[in-house]
């Protein structure tokens, strides 16, 4: 039995051929969950002839009865003139306490206060919870007293799932293997799983976690055209996609004037498209968002409000991941003011590597059966009421490097994936380990970027889990963090040298110097320093010291018969540093003597015009930046030896460390051949 046949057998009327959706969707501007519900009713068969008949019926229903927003007045007129007319519209119901009646409002038709029989409300409770799409028979009859709407509901039938039988899901899941069920879920989103490898399937599943997990914060950045926003726009009536741009606290969280909760209280998922454009009108917007992401609550006025919405951030990376990791971090595409906020990103539970997902091509879309979108959406929503967060402790426990926020993030991702893949709660130890490793990798990806931004505060990134039975510890790695170091292996050119210093922005970063030496008359020029006057002054001091002390270092250095051109590069965008004087002296000596510095070397520290050495500030953070950049050797001032106790032993042991006492000593130890 094929997977399509099994789906139609186990879930009759709950599945639809996804290519049919695409065919009709292209010609009808109707929500996909409405369309697929109708297709599930009239095209739930494998016989091609019946499918074609069903499609024609669906098309006729939509063309005759679907109310387009721009045709509301026309349809109202038809109801009046004909006396009775069938419409498809989004209907929400509220209780009018003064009249003691239920009243409906029609989204596209634009009419309100239409009386609804209580039996409909009792039968279809979702009418009261944001509303649902319905097919209705409407009549027009003017009330003599003019107190009621002339529009009357003669019959109402939901064309979304009015309720959900979870037992049907739990029992049906038992008929499928793990891999079959994963394929069913991916096909339900419109994708063809046969085109993706195992890792990509997990990424596609991770996009669904916010649908099943309350207060889940996830980020996905990657190239354009990989379907990042599609999931949140089309696949659920319970999620909303906010296109990049300005928003307000009132819109997102709570409106003080109307005393109404914003989007986080109305939707299960609030997704931000094009994160680079996120901007709050309110100064406290980011802070309120951070509070909500951490606790699921926020304070407005005198009250504290709770909401269950998950926060999704999707956006584009305009350069390769390798380049981004060399010069910055994976959160860099966020807008200025957010992209260096470690407290904000520490609240991210998972980072989906969007660059691993290929751009969508026609062959990536499925022609096979998957769940009706609305059925899947209701399954996801019901699973939000359940929790698998503690299931992790059945077989394993987190390693020592995970702090509280790391643990919460991993548990939430683990819980979400378990709800999706094993909704019936039946799984093995191997199944749990597979899900746990994926969850740990996604949170470690977040932590690695925090380490790049915040240094030693986020040093613990060696994530692991421990087997409760064997006590064996398993570590996880992040694929993109391997290779691509700023400081390459091998001997560089003479005059080429690296240092780590504090930039103009107040952050530690890697700087590269390159020196060009040509025959001339002792001229000195420098580029790459920008407008930072302190940096220009420091580099000028370096040449003055070099010229005055050249003969002390080596007799082969000529300061009058050669021209020197020094270029400085800020490799991580931290702003030009004023602490480059000593490194520039070493670069000048290396280039003048045509001797390269030692392999994978970083020089730390700086000096005054008189040759006095200044010790390194925040030694532990500085060495962490060195390690991330690919350094293997470090020379530093002897005065910094007293700060070694502040450096974790594990970090200190990664380098060959040497100390220098004065600029000449620094030159000798950097070149290693004098």
pLDDT in tens, 208-219: 999 999 999 999
pTM over 0.95: no
Compute how many other C-beta atoms are within 10 angstroms of the C-beta atom of residue 330: 25
- Each residue of 358-388: pLDDT tens digit? 998 888 989 898 998 888 988 999 999 998 8
In angstroms, the CA 288 to CA 605 distance is 40
Our CA angle for 199, 204, 207, nearest 5°, is 130
Does the pLDDT value for residue 484 go beyond 60? Answer: no
Strands 633-637 and 601-603, by their bridges, are parallel
In angstroms, the CA 237 to CA 27 distance is 20
In angstroms, the CA 543 to CA 514 distance is 14
Compute how many other C-beta atoms are within 10 angstroms of the C-beta atom of residue 367: 13
What pLDDT is attached to residue 624? 87
3-state secondary structure 586-627: HHHHHHHHCCCCCCCEEECCEECCCCCEECCCCHHHHHHHHH
In angstroms, the CA 61 to CA 24 distance is 12
What pLDDT is attached to residue 44? 67
What's the burial of 361, exposed, middle or buried (CB within 10 Å: 0-12/13-18/19+)? exposed
Please provide the distance, in angstroms rounded to a whole number, between the alpha carbons at the two ends of the chain: 77
Compute how many other C-beta atoms are within 10 angstroms of the C-beta atom of residue 655: 20
Q: Is the separation of the CB atoms in 389 and 412 below 8 Å?
A: yes
In angstroms, the CA 3 to CA 9 distance is 10
In angstroms, the CA 322 to CA 480 distance is 8
What's the burial of 389, exposed, middle or buried (CB within 10 Å: 0-12/13-18/19+)? middle
Q: Which residues pair with 270 in a beta bridge?
A: 240, 311
What pLDDT is attached to residue 229? 87
Q: What percent of the chain has pLDDT over 70?
A: 96
**DSSP state at residue 556:** T
Q: Which helix (H) or strand (E) holds 241?
A: strand 239-242
Q: Is the separation of the CB atoms in 241 and 229 below 8 Å?
A: yes
Q: Where are the alpha helices (DSSP H) in 422-555?
A: 429-454, 533-553
- Judged by DSSP in three states, 280 sits in strand
List Cα–Cα distances, 459 to 439, 450, 507, 585, in angstroms. 19, 9, 16, 32
**Checking phi first, is residue 451 left (phi over 0); if not, alpha (psi -120 to 50) or beta?**
alpha
Cα 551 → chain centroid: 56
Nearest to 220 by CA among 323, 24, 80, 356: 356
In angstroms, the CA 615 to CA 646 distance is 14
What pLDDT is attached to residue 482? 56
Q: Is the separation of the CB atoms in 151 and 364 below 8 Å?
A: no
- Each residue of 634-660: pLDDT tens digit? 999 999 999 999 998 888 999 999 999
Lowest mean pLDDT among 193-202, 325-334, 436-445: 325-334
- Each residue of 502-548: pLDDT tens digit? 988 788 889 999 999 999 888 999 999 888 888 999 999 999 999 88
Most confident stretch, 37-46, 110-119, 261-270: 110-119
What's the burial of 189, exposed, middle or buried (CB within 10 Å: 0-12/13-18/19+)? buried
Strands 246-247 and 297-300, by their bridges, are unpaired
Compute the average pLDDT of residues 143-164.
79
In angstroms, the CA 176 to CA 496 distance is 60
Does the pLDDT value for residue 162 go beyond 70? Answer: no
Compute the average pLDDT of residues 310-329.
84
Q: Is the separation of the CB atoms in 258 and 391 below 8 Å?
A: no
**DSSP string covering 125-168:** GGGGTT-EEEEEEEEE---TTS-S-SEEEEEEEESS-SS--HHH
Nearest to 538 by CA among 554, 523, 526: 526
Average per-residue pLDDT for the chain: 87
Q: Is the separation of the CB atoms in 330 and 321 below 8 Å?
A: yes
What pLDDT is attached to residue 29? 67
What pLDDT is attached to residue 613? 93
Nearest to 392 by CA among 429, 338, 341: 429
Q: Is the separation of the CB atoms in 252 and 270 below 8 Å?
A: yes
Compute the average pLDDT of residues 572-584.
89
- Each residue of 101-142: pLDDT tens digit? 999 999 989 999 899 999 998 888 778 877 888 889 999 988
In angstroms, the CA 262 to CA 270 distance is 11
């Amino acid at each position: 039995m094929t997977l399509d046949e099994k789906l139609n057998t186990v879930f009759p009327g709950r599945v639809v051929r996804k290519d049919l959706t695409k065919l009709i969707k292209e010609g009808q501007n109707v929500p996909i969950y409405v369309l697929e519900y109708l297709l599930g009713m009239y095209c739930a068969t494998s016989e091609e002839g019946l499918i074609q008949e069903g499609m024609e019926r669906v098309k006729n229903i939509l063309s005759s009865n679907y109310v387009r927003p721009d045709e509301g007045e026309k349809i109202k007129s038809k109801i009046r003139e004909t006396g009775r007319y069938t419409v498809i519209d989004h209907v929400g119901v509220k209780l009018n306490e003064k009249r003691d009646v239920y009243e409906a409002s029609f989204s596209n038709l634009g009419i309100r206060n239409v009386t609804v029989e209580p039996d409909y409300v009792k039968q279809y409770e979702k009418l009261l919870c944001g509303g649902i799409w319905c097919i209705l028979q409407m009549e027009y009859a003017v009330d003599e007293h003019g107190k009621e709407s002339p529009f009357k509901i003669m019959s109402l039938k939901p064309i979304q799932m009015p309720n959900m039988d979870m037992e049907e899901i739990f029992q049906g899941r038992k008929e499928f293997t793990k891999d079959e069920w994963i394929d069913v879920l991916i096909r339900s989103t419109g994708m063809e799983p046969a085109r993706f490898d195992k890792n990509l399937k997990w990424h596609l599943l991770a996009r669904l976690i916010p649908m099943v997990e309350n207060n889940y914060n996830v980020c996905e950045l990657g190239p354009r055209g990989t379907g990042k926003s599609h999931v949140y726009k089309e696949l659920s009536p319970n999620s909303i996609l906010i296109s990049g741009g300005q928003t307000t606290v009132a819109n997102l969280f709570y409106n003080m004037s109307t005393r109404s909760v914003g989007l986080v209280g109305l939707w299960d998922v609030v997704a931000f498209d094009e994160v680079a454009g996120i901007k709050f009108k309110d100064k406290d917007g980011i802070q309120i968002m951070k509070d909500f992401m951490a606790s699921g609550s926020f304070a407005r006025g005198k009250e504290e409000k709770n909401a269950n919405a998950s926060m999704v951030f999707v956006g584009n990376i305009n350069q390769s991941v390798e380049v981004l990791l060399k010069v910055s971090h994976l959160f860099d595409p966020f807008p200025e003011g957010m992209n260096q906020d470690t407290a904000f990103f520490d609240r991210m539970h998972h980072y989906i590597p969007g660059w691993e997902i290929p751009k969508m091509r026609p062959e990536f879309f499925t022609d096979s059966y998957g769940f009706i979108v609305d059925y899947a959406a209701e399954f996801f929503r019901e699973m939000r009421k359940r929790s698998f967060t503690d299931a992790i402790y059945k077989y394993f426990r987190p390693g020592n490097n995970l702090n509280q926020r790391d643990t919460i993030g991993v548990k939430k991702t683990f819980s979400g994936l378990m709800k999706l893949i094993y909704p019936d709660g039946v799984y093995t130890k191997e199944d749990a380990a597979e899900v746990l490793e994926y969850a740990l990798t996604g949170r470690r990806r977040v932590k690695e970027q925090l380490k790049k931004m915040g240094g030693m505060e986020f040093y613990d990134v060696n994530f692991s889990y421990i087997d409760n039975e064997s006590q064996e510890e398993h570590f996880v790695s992040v694929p993109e963090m391997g290779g691509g170091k700023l400081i390459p292996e091998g001997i560089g050119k003479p005059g080429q040298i690296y240092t780590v210093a504090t930039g103009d922005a107040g952050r530690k970063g890697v700087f590269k110097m390159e020196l060009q030496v040509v025959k001339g008359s002792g001229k000195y020029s420098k580029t790459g320093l920008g407008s930072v006057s302190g940096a220009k002054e420091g580099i000028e001091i370096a040449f003055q010291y070099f010229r005055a002390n050249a003969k002390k270092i080596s007799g082969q250095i000529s300061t009058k018969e050669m021209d020197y051109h020094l270029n400085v590069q800020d490799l991580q965008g931290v702003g030009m540093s004023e602490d480059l004087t000593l490194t520039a002296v070493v670069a000048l000596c290396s280039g003048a003597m045509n001797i390269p510095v030692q392999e994978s070397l970083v020089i730390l520290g700086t000096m005054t015009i008189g040759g006095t050495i200044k010790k390194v500030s925040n030694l532990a953070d500085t060495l962490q930046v060195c390690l991330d950049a690919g350094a293997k050797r470090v020379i530093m001032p002897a005065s910094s030896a007293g700060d070694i106790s502040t450096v974790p032993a594990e970090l200190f042991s990664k380098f060959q460390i040497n100390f220098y006492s004065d600029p000449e000593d620094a030159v000798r130890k950097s070149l290693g051949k004098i």
